[in-house]
Structure 1
């Protein structure tokens, strides 16, 4: 967000936008914080158990999927996070259940280095006495499985109580050096599927753990139900049937989430296959336009200059992947700085193309070299072959 009269007590003309994420479990006070910090009545604040961020009835898989896609899109558009504010209700007597799972997923989502750009803010101080709140805050700070290890890696702890505290939290983040989160690097730079990311694995492992617990419970219920039949205990049978139906429902939810993660991977695989098919079709179409005829063999390099080869390469660059195109351009620029190619006269000399070809063959994939019209020299394997 920009520094403005509505958000901070002073302004800086021309200051850039800062993208700050606000996270936390349902009811932690996310929308209240945003409304308070922005001073805008346009931000809806939830006053019921239904979260105005619409995550009350969403599974952890759906929540992770939504966060991951937003972060992926932001990173693709060169928008790095100035920081992340993670909210936690201080009136919660324990850190357990969904809050602890959410925190674990949050840590995996961030990675290690970005933790220094994280603010851990406690909320709802008006719901507890000062002593109780301070004791709970101290426990959050000390225990490694809560906030302890995050603090060691640079995360800061503070309290959100009013607008002044909200603005101070924002000011803590504004000087930060924006860093990509781990999940952004995994999804974009490493081309991983969501289930292959650290956060995705964390959710999947938790689902597998819960699945095993429920299956063990079902097995115990079946054994107890068999005994209830033997003893003709109708009341116990009905109780066990109700318990089995509840576990079956829970297992069904788990299986849907597992399938959702697998479906996301299959959808991504299909997307990549479709993209690859499209690229091949595009290459076939471009190949019929004869943008530039390829060089014939190594003998042709004796009669071609560095500049002529560069012209031929650039005429064909549209056929190769953008990342290979960038690599080729970097190689050309570096080659031009060599002593033997440092002047325009030298680059026009016949035979100088060989210098560039040697460098390209080491650094650029063979398929891209073929599309560029650069000759491919395969090793002579006949020297290793015996004679009859």
Structure 2
């Protein structure tokens, strides 16, 4: 699969130079911590407005939007928390996205830019789960509004080995296969303003041809009176958490089978006391993990978001 070079030489005429367009375009940015979401917005804007992260430490704690113009077209870019932020659970991330959609529901998303640093060498279980969650947030009808933009190309010495790794993500069974096979685009981002504007304009062009998409999560939230767990994304996350709970319960059961004799707790033999302390510490850790997942499941099942509307949205003329 050949990559599409965005912002790299030589370039054809920029898309922003085509005929003037009307209407505000809403684009969300998602990606792992350190993928360059805030940097992408600053680059597109032409100045450092948002704080950027360093390494694996996230700087965006909740969705925030920035308005700019690409050519004459008003654009709103929405920066979101890192999709692999260990300090923010999947439930919290989904709640933030659902809440944002509910509050800004009258301003429908036009598309999504999924940024991924090619310096990340492998897709773990967490990334696979969150990509599945992303697919359920969008719905298959909106996959064609996704641009997967790989970043950090200037940090590698050899492009060929990295390209092979990127291609494997699109192969059957790969983490991006479902998105790509049903319409998602893939480009390289060269971390300059021209590159950022051309990526944005890919989504603008689709909106101008087809209108705004129906994002699955937003429509389901309206139908389910804001109950997140009753949406496709909510059900997917619920199943993921339930699987984690089952695994932890099995681990605790097996761990109990290896429980040392109670006499080891105060045994005069140091090795016995050490064995008891190790087992007890491991058991407490498993119980804490189980309680945490059970709490997350309960929280997910109780999340309800409320939609807000403006008078302009009620009386607007459909595009």
Same fold (TM over 0.5): yes
Which residue in 1 is equivalent to 2:122?
94
- Displacement, 1:14? 6.6
The whole-number CA distance in structure 2 between the counterparts of 1:81 and 1:237 is 55
Match of 1:210 in 2: 244
The aligned residue for residue 294 of structure 2 is: 255
Root-mean-square deviation (Å): 2.6
Q: Secondary structure at the match of 2:29?
A: strand
Q: Cα 1:98–1:262, aligned 2, differ >3 Å: closer, same or farther? A: same
CA distance in 1, matches of 2:140, 2:34: 26
2:264, 2:273 within 8 Å by CA — same for their partners in 1? no
Deviations 1:153-212 (A, max 9, x none): 110111122213222211211111320210001001453510011111111111111111
- Where in structure 2 are the equivalents of 1:125-274 lying within 5 Å? 125-128=153-156, 129-163=158-192, 164-177=194-207, 178-191=212-225, 193-226=227-260, 233-264=272-303
Retained in 2: the 8 A contact 1:141–1:151? yes
Cα 1:245/1:16, change in 2 over 3 Å? same
What is the CA-CA distance between 1:111 and the residue it aligns to?
A: 0.5
Helix, strand or coil at the partner of 2:148:
strand
How far, CA to CA, are the matches of 2:130 and 2:118 in structure 1?
Answer: 16
Q: Which runs of 4+ in 1 moved over 4 A?
A: 7-14, 227-232
Which structure's relative contact order is higher, taking Cα pairs within 8 Å and 6+ residues apart?
2
Give the TM-score normalised by the residue count of structure 1.
Answer: 0.62
Distance 1:127 1:101, change over 3 A: farther
Does structure 1 retain, via aligned residues, the 8 Å contact 2:264–2:276?
no
Q: CA 1:198 to 1:14, structure 2 compared with 1: closer, same or farther past 3 Å?
A: closer
Aligned partner of 2:22 in structure 1 is: 15
Q: Secondary structure at the match of 1:146?
A: coil
CA, structure 1 residues 144+73, in 2 after alignment: closer, same or farther (shift >3 Å)? farther
Q: Which has the higher strand share?
A: 2
Question: CA separation in 1, counterparts of 2:118 and 2:149?
Answer: 9
Match among 93, 99, 122 for residue 69 of structure 1: 99
Displacement after TM superposition at 1:234 (Å): 2.8
Indicate conservation of the 8 Å contact 1:25/1:102, yes or no. Answer: no
- After TM superposition, the structure 1 = structure 2 runs for residues 369-388 of structure 1, keeping only pairs within 5 Å, are none
Q: Which residue of 2 aligns with 1:281?
A: none
User: Match of 2:133?
Assistant: 105
Could you list the per-position Cα deviations for residues 253-281 of structure 1 after superposition, in whole angstroms to 9, with x for gaps in the alignment? 2122112112225xx7xx89xxxxxxxxx
> Counterparts in 2 of 1:333-372, with a 5 A limit?
none
1:64, 1:17 → 2: CA distance?
25
Contact 1:229 1:237 in 2 (8 A): no
Q: 1:248 to 1:127 in 2, by over 3 A?
A: farther
Quote the Cα distance in structure 2 between the aligned partners of 1:9 and 1:183: 30
SS in 2 for 1:176: helix
Q: 1:153 to 1:13 in 2, by over 3 A?
A: closer
Stretches of structure 2 lacking an aligned partner (at least 5 in a row): 1-13, 62-80, 308-319
Q: Which has the larger radius of gyration?
A: 1
Q: Is the counterpart of residue 25 in structure 1 residue 32 in structure 2?
A: yes
Alpha carbons of structure 1 residues 145 and 134: separation in structure 2 relative to 1, 3 Å: closer
Superposed CA deviations along residues 62-90 of structure 1, whole A, max 9, x for unmatched, are: 11000011123332x1x222210112221
Tell me the matched-pair count. 261
SS at the partner of 1:119?
strand
Could you tell me which runs of 5 or more consecutive residues in structure 1 were left unpaired when the two chains were aligned: 1-6, 273-388
